[in-house]
């Protein structure tokens, strides 16, 4: 039996409503899944206060700002000559990553009371 225009309009409206409710449920479930995934990835991370994060950021920033990036000895450069016989800078490479990394590490370590893990280092007390 063929449906009337009014029956089809009601069916379209009902299906549209059902689809809208399903989308809302899907969006809600997706948000819950994302939050649960975030919590799961954070579960084994140590907890740190916002204050400590700010101190860490300051220590890193001060270490970087304290490093002398203007010293030409901190770089390895290669020169070349182009087709017009002009001297060119072919490459420049920062050569002090270890020193910068060490400065940042020391600044961070200074914020903590670092204990030696004797078991990890196989050292007797």
Residue 65 shares a structural domain with residue 123: yes
Residue 62 shares a structural domain with residue 97: yes
Residue 72 shares a structural domain with residue 32: no
Q: Residue 113: which domain range? A: 47-125
Residue 59 CA: distances (Å) to CA of 52, 66, 74, 110: 10, 10, 22, 9
Residue 38 shares a structural domain with residue 72: no
**Does residue 32 surpass a pLDDT of 60?**
yes
Residue 54 shares a structural domain with residue 113: yes
CB 81 within 8 A of CB 87: yes
Residue 39 shares a structural domain with residue 53: no
Query: Model confidence at 79, in pLDDT bands (50, 70, 90)?
Result: very high
Q: Is the dihedral of CA 12, 15, 21, 27 positive or negative?
A: negative
Give the model confidence (pLDDT) of 84-116 as tens digits: 999 999 999 999 999 999 999 999 988 888 777
Residue 62 shares a structural domain with residue 104: yes
Residue 54 shares a structural domain with residue 26: no
- Name the domain count of the chain: 2
Residue 94 shares a structural domain with residue 51: yes
Give the model confidence (pLDDT) of 33-63 as tens digits: 999 998 898 888 888 899 999 999 999 999 9
Q: Give the H or E element holding residue 87.
A: strand 87-94
pTM > 0.75: yes or no: no
């Amino acid at each position: 039996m063929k449906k009337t225009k009014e029956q089809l309009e009601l069916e379209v409206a009902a299906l549209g409503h059902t689809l809208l409710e399903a989308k809302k449920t899907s969006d809600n479930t997706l948000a819950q899944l994302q939050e649960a995934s975030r919590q799961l990835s954070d579960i084994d991370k140590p907890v740190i206060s916002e204050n400590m994060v700010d101190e860490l950021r300051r220590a890193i920033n001060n270490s970087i700002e304290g490093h002398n990036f203007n010293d030409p000895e901190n770089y390895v450069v290669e020169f070349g000559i182009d087709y017009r016989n002009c001297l060119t800078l072919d490459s420049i490479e920062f050569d002090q990553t270890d020193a910068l990394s060490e400065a940042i590490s020391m600044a961070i370590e200074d914020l903590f009371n670092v204990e030696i893990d004797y078991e990890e280092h196989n050292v007797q007390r």
